[in-house]
Amino acid sequence: MPNYRYQARNNAGQVNSGTVSADGVAAAAASLRTQGLHVVSLSPAGASEAGSGLVEAFKRINSSKPTTKHVLDFTTQLAVMIRAGINLRAALEGVAEQTNHAQFKKVVMNLKDDVESGKQFSEAIAKYPKLFGQLYVSMVRASEMSGSFSEMLDRIAGYIGQQIETRKMVVGASIYPGIIATMAIGVTVFMLSFVLPRFYTIFEGKEDVLPWSTKFLMGLSKFMTAEWPFIVGGAVAVAGLLVVVAKTEVGSFWIDKLKLSLPMLKNMFNALYINRSLQTMGQLINAGVPMLDTLSITGEISGNQLYKGMWLRVHSSVKQGRKITGPLLKDALMPRSVVQMIAAGEESGKLGEVLDEISGYYAKQLKEQIKAVTSMIEPVMIVVMGSVVGFIAMAVILPIFKMSQLVG
């Protein structure tokens, strides 16, 4: 059974410290309360003493920027401590002590300082928009008004966990095709740059009997070996230009539009954006966030410029006193069946529950679409790779057979 180091205040106001054995943080806090103590801080015993040199070395290495996973762990731990009866300042201090990431630990300590100075927790986290986005801040602010802080943290942690899982699925689906494409390009470059030049002396002076494929590859091979610095420089320049263009509003719009137009990928991307939009919207509505703020945040988090524009049009419509479903019916991005369910939820006053159910359905659809895309892309990439390599091999072998027949 693990030990926990604590600081607690007794009924006389004195602060005592020590260790307590328990199955977890919540059980340790409950044990101390049964002794008439009010918990000030609670953390695993030996977390800062044992192996301090190794911990410090790890901190120096772990100097990268905090990630969504750090925010998820922070939110989960904070929810457990708040539910165990630990006050927010002490809970933040406890989470900071358990955090090995140097930069994120500094962020948590800054949050503790802001809370100690009298700021609301939502005000404190709003200073870090890249870590705690609009959705996080809005849901925390709503919980501060309703008094359901720990429950809201659990809800936020669940949402972040689902988003991380979705991102992993999409990235995982692109890894295998990416590897196959890289191998195809690598093999092609290797054969044109290192293998084909070995046959120059054999084919030289016999251009009249060479098939067009061999002539084409020989010309391409000579160009690559002679002009490779310019080819590499041009490729790097084009890649850099594409990255710069993708970061502009116009460039990102056309890339997002392309995602929704590609035959093999459009269904997967539509499922992704609908799931993300409706899940975000449902979480915010259930948290009690005002509808206009909900629609604005949903548009920002949707992840696609076209979907963002759709939600901003809905925002403008609702701002004028109209219903949500009006603009959605005019937009081809949202399926009619989904719009009908949203309309039913809006009429019954159970919009948040309906959105949760729809987003859950599209989460399953997304998994199925990812499997379908992966199963389709794998054979296509293999066929393309085999065709390229086979074309090069045949362009080299056929002339040799022809010349051997002529000699014979």
Other residues' Cβ atoms within 10 Å of the Cβ of residue 35: 10
The closest of 159, 29, 33, 50 to 94, measured between CA atoms, is 29
Strands 15-21 and 3-9: antiparallel
Q: Which residue has the higher pLDDT, 20 or 338?
A: 338
Chain mean pLDDT for the chain: 82
What confidence score (pLDDT) does residue 12 get?
A: 62
Q: For residue 57, is pLDDT > 60?
A: no
Please choose, from the candidates 228, 329, 227, 342, the residue with its C-alpha nearest in 3D space to the C-alpha of residue 285: 342
User: Which carries the bigger pLDDT value, residue 209 or residue 68?
Assistant: 68
Q: What is the CA radius of gyration of the chain?
A: 30
Instruction: Specify the pLDDT at position 56.
Output: 46
d(CA 196, CA 166): 44
Q: Look up residue 47 and give its amino acid.
A: A
Please check the confidence at residue 310 and state whether its pLDDT lies above 90.
Answer: yes
Please answer whether residues 3 and 19 qualify as being in contact, where contact means their C-beta atoms are separated by less than 8 angstroms.
yes
Mean pLDDT of 173-179: 78
CB atoms within 10 A of CB 163: 18
Q: Is the pLDDT of residue 343 over 80?
A: yes
Ranges of H-type helices in 9-148 = 25-34, 52-61, 68-83, 88-98, 102-116, 121-125, 134-146
- Dihedral, CA of residue 356, residue 362, residue 367 and residue 371, to nearest 10: 180
User: What does residue 405 show for φ and ψ, rounded to 5 degrees?
Assistant: -70, -35
pTM confidence score: 0.70
pLDDT recorded at residue 315: 93
User: Cα-flanking dihedrals φ and ψ of residue 7, to 5°?
Assistant: -125, 130
For residue 246, which amino acid is it?
Answer: A
pLDDT digits (tens, 9 = 90+) for 125-168: 999 988 898 889 888 988 887 777 888 888 888 888 888 888 88
Q: Name the strand (E) or helix (H) holding 20.
A: strand 15-21
Rounded distance, CA 61 to CA 379, Å?
A: 41
CATH topology of domain 3-132: Receptor-associated Protein (1.20.81)
Give residue 210's region: left, alpha or beta (phi > 0; psi -120 to 50). beta
For residues 358 and 271, what is the distance between their CA atoms, to the nearest angstrom?
A: 11
Residue-wise pLDDT for 216-261, tens only, equals: 888 888 888 888 889 889 989 999 998 898 888 888 899 999 989 8
User: Does the pLDDT of residue 205 top 80, yes or no?
Assistant: no
Query: Hey, what are 97's tokens?
Result: 């002590």
- Give 219-234 as a 3 state SS string: HHHHHHHHHHHHHHHH
**Span 188-408 CATH architecture:** Up-down Bundle (1.20)
pLDDT in tens, 20-48: 777 666 667 777 777 777 666 666 665 44
pLDDT at residue number 58: 44
Same fold, 3-132 and 188-408: yes
| Count of H-run helices and E-run strands, the chain | 17, 3
Residue with tokens 């076209």: 306
Q: Where are the domains of the chain?
A: 3-132, 188-408
Q: Give the residue-averaged pLDDT of 158-180.
A: 83
Strands (E), 140-267: none
Q: What is the pLDDT of residue 264?
A: 78
Q: How far apart are CA 130 and CA 103, in angstroms?
A: 13
| pLDDT, tens digit, 9 for 90 and up, residues 260-290 | 988 878 888 899 999 989 988 998 898 888 8
What are 39's strand-pairing partners?
A: 8
Which of 355, 364, 382 shows the shortest CA–CA distance to 287?
355
